Amino acid sequence: MKILFLFLATSCTTLLNAQLYYNPLAIPAAISGNNFTLTVADSSHHFFGANNTATYGVNGSYLGPTLVVNKDDSVNIAVVNNLTQTTTMHWHGLHIPATMDGGPHNVINAGTTWQVGFGIRNAASTCWYHPHLHMNTGTQVYMGLAGMIIVKDTVEAALNLPRTYGTDDIPVVLQDRTFNANGDLIVDGLADSMVVNGTMHAYLDAPAQVVRLRVLNGSNVRSYNLGFSDNRTFYVIASDGGLLSQPVPVTRLKIASGERFEILLDLTNDQGNNFVMMSYASAFANNEPGGGGMPNGASVLNATNFGIMQINVVAPTGNPVTTIPSSLINVTPWNIANVNTLRYKTLDGNGMFATMANFTINFLAFDMMVINDTIPLNNLEVWQFTNNTNIAHPIHIHDVPFYILSRNGNQPPAYEGGLKDVFYILPNEVVQVIMKFEDFANDTMPYMYHCHNLVHEDNGMMAQFIVTDSFTGIEDATENNFSFYPNPTASSVQLNFQDSNNEPYTIELLDAGGRIMQSSLVNPEGTAFSYTIDLADRPAGIYFLKVSGTNTSRTLKIIKE
C-alpha cells in the first residue's frame, strides 16, 4: 500500500499551507577546502510521522553535504564505501579525466575507498554528485545517494549576486519518492510525494531581498514545470554549466532529471507574505515524464499542479542584495564554421505503452565493452539528436559542457543560451549541441552519454566515447583507399574509395546546420568507386558529407570557398 501526500494548491491556501508545509527545509552542510571525505553508508532518515525510513546517505542519513570548490583548485576526494554493495561516485558536470569521472567502470567495492584527485576547470556553476553503477544508478540515487557541488570563481564573485549559503543562496534538490505504510521507500519511476533536500512538507524562511535558489532536479524520472503560486516573475541566471549572459525573466521553467537552474527571486517587498513553489505539471504533454498518459508510471503528481515547498518571507539580512543584475557574464559559444565533425544520434524505442526497457541510442543498448564514438582530441563537434520515440528524454553528456545550437532548426530559448550538460528533447524533436573535447585523452577509459531518466539509463539508454590523441581516422583519408579532394574546394569534391564490404552506400550532403541538401544511394558492388559532389552553386561555408553503408558511417567536413 502506498501513502499519498497530495500538495494541491488552491486559491485559499493560507490555512491549508500551514498544515501542508510544516518542516523547515533542511540545508545540507557545506564543506570546502581541498580534501574531502565522503562516506557512503546504509542509514535511516526521518521523512514523516513516527517512522524512520531505511535509506543510504553520504556522511549522513539522506543525500550528502554540498561540496564548495573554487575554479583552479586541486581537490582530493576519498569516497569510502561502507555500503554492503558496490557503488561508484560520479561528479556530474565536472570536466575531469575519465579515470576519475566515476562512471560504471570506476567501481568502488563494498568496504573499500576510492581516492581521486583533480583540478577544478569548470566556471562557477552548480553541479552534483551521485552513483553511476551499471544498471543500478536509479536505486542508489533513490535511496539517498546524491549531493550538490558549488563551483565558485572570480568572475561570479565580482557580480552583485546573493552567495551566503543557506541564507540567501539556497540549495533546492527536488525529488519525488514513494513510501509504503511502514514509511519505507518503494523504488519507483514517477513517485507520489515531494521531498526537497530530503524534507517532506518543506517551508523555507527567506529574507525580504533578492534570493538565489540553486535548483537541481535530482529525481529519477520526473520533470517539473516550476513556477510560484502568486505567478511571480523569477529570473534564470545560470544553467548546468554556469551563468547566462543576463538574467532571463520567466514565470514557468521546465527542469528535467539531472538539470540545474539557478534562479533569483526578488522578495524585497514581500516581508510577511508567503507563497508556494509549484510544479505546474498540468501543462505537460502526455509524453513528458510527469504528464499524463503514462500507464507504467501512474502517480498522483502526474499531470496536476502541485506544491513543492512554501516560501515565508522574513526580515532582510544586513547588506542584502536588492536588485537583479542587468548583465552577468560574456557567453561566447564556439563558431560553427570551425566544427570538425558532425555526429548523428537517434533516440529509438517505443516504451511508453510497452516497457521502459527498450529505449536505445542509435539502435544500440549500452554495452560496457563497446566504445560507440572515438573523438579526436581537440575536436569541435556538433552532435545532432533526433528523438524518434514517443516520450521526452533528458540527455546528458559527460566530460565537457555544450551549448545548445538549435531545437528543430531554431535558436533555443534565452535561458538555454549558456553552457549545459543535460538537454531535454521532446518526441520528434531534433536538437543540436556543440562542444569541444579539449583535454583528457585516454584510449581505454570512456566517458558516458545517456538519458538521465535513470530508469532509461539503467535499462541501456547509454553509450560511451573515448577522447584520443592518436586518432588515425577518415580525415587522414587513407583507410580503405578512401580519399576526397580537393578540400577546400571552389567547385566540386571527388570521393574515392574501395568498397571492400560490397554493400550499398547512402551519400548525403549536409549544410552546417545538419540539413540534408542532397542524398543519393550508390552501389559500388565491391569495386573501386568514385563519386563527384558538385558544390559550384552552393554558398561558401561548411558542409558535411555523410557516407553510410550497412556497417560503416563516416562524416567528412568540406569547406566550400
Interacting residue ranges for ligand C2O, rule: CB under 6 A: 90, 92, 130, 132, 258, 396, 398, 448, 450, 452
* Rounded-to-integer distance, Cα 44 and Cα 387, Å: 40
Min dist. Cβ of residue 258 to ligand C2O (A): 5
**Which one of residues 87, 122, 453, 464 is an interface residue with Cu ion (CB under 5 A)?**
453
177 forms part of the interface with Cu ion (CB under 5 A): no
Q: Which is nearer to ligand C2O, 71 or 398 (CB)?
A: 398
Cα–Cα dist 119/91, whole Å: 12
Cβ neighbours for 497, distance < 8 A, ≥ 6 positions apart: 480, 481, 482, 483, 524, 528, 529, 547
Residues 385, 462, 263, 309, CA torsion sign? positive
Q: Does 257 bind Cu ion (CB under 5 A)?
A: no
Could you tell me the smallest distance in angstroms from the CB atom of residue 250 to ligand C2O? 24
Q: How far is the CB of 244 from ligand C2O (least distance, A)?
A: 21
- Residue 450's binding partner, choosing from Cu ion, ligand C2O, none, with beta-carbon cut-off 5 to 8 A by kind? ligand C2O
Q: Which is nearer to ligand C2O, 210 or 467 (CB)?
A: 467
Asked if residue 353 lies in contact with residue 189, where contact means CB atoms within 8 angstroms, the answer is no
For ligand C2O, the closer CB: 419 or 448: 448
Contact characters 422-451, Cu ion, x per CB under 5 A: -----------------------------x
Q: How far apart are CA 163 and CA 68, in angstroms?
A: 12
Are residues 331 and 244 in contact, defined by beta-carbon separation less than 8 angstroms?
yes
Rg (CA), the chain: 25
Q: What does 28 interact with, of ligand C2O, Cu ion, none (CB < 5 to 8 A by kind)?
A: none
3-state secondary structure of 5: coil
Given a contact cutoff of 8 angstroms between Cβ atoms, the answer to whether 106 and 98 are in contact is no
What is the β-pairing status of strands 492-498 and 528-534? antiparallel
User: Which of 127, 263 has the CB closer to Cu ion?
Assistant: 127
Q: In whole angstroms, how close is the CB of 132 to ligand C2O at the nearest point? A: 5
Least distance in angstroms from the C-beta of 246 to ligand C2O: 27
Residue 554 interface partner, choices ligand C2O, Cu ion, none, CB cut-off 5-8 Å depending on type: none
Residue 100 CB, nearest distance to Cu ion (Å)?
Answer: 12
The residue (of 141 and 194) whose beta carbon lies closer to ligand C2O is: 141
Among 254, 393, 420, 546, interactor with Cu ion by CB under 5 A: 393
Instruction: Answer yes or no whether residue 92 interacts with Cu ion by CB under 5 A.
Output: yes
Smallest distance, Å, CB 128 to Cu ion?
Answer: 9
Q: Are strands 169-179 and 193-196 parallel, antiparallel or unpaired?
A: antiparallel
> Which residue's beta carbon is nearest to the bound ligand C2O?
92
Tell me how far apart the alpha carbons of residues 1 and 199 are, in angstroms, rounded to a whole number: 22
**What does the alpha-carbon distance between residue 287 and residue 306 come to, in Å, rounded to a whole number?**
19
Between 393 and 554, CB nearer to Cu ion = 393
User: Which one, 138 or 227, has the nearer CB to ligand C2O?
Assistant: 138
Backbone angles phi, psi at 389, to 5 degrees: -95, 175
Grid cell listed for 390: 514517443
Question: Could you tell me the sign of the dihedral formed by the alpha carbons of 21, 23, 27, 28, in that order?
Answer: negative
Residue 45 or 452 having the CB closest to ligand C2O: 452
Q: Which amino acid is at 292?
A: G
**Cα angle, residue 42 at apex, residues 36 and 43 outer, rounded to 5°:** 95
Q: Is 67 helix (H, G, I), strand (E, B) or coil?
A: strand
- Asked if residues 421 and 92 have their Cβ atoms less than 8 Å apart, the reply is yes
Q: Which does 546 bind (CB under 5 to 8 A by kind): ligand C2O, Cu ion, none?
A: none
What residue 132 binds from Cu ion, ligand C2O, none (CB within 5 to 8 A, per partner kind)? ligand C2O
The residue (of 17 and 387) whose beta carbon lies closer to Cu ion is 387
Q: How far is the CB of 450 from Cu ion (least distance, A)?
A: 8
Does 456 sit near Cu ion (CB under 5 A)? yes
Q: Which three cell numbers stand for residue 558?
A: 568540406
Q: Which does 456 bind (CB under 5 to 8 A by kind): ligand C2O, Cu ion, none?
A: Cu ion
- The number of beta carbons lying within 10 Å of the beta carbon of residue 102 is 29
Residues making contact with Cu ion (CB under 5 A) = 92, 393, 398, 451, 453, 456
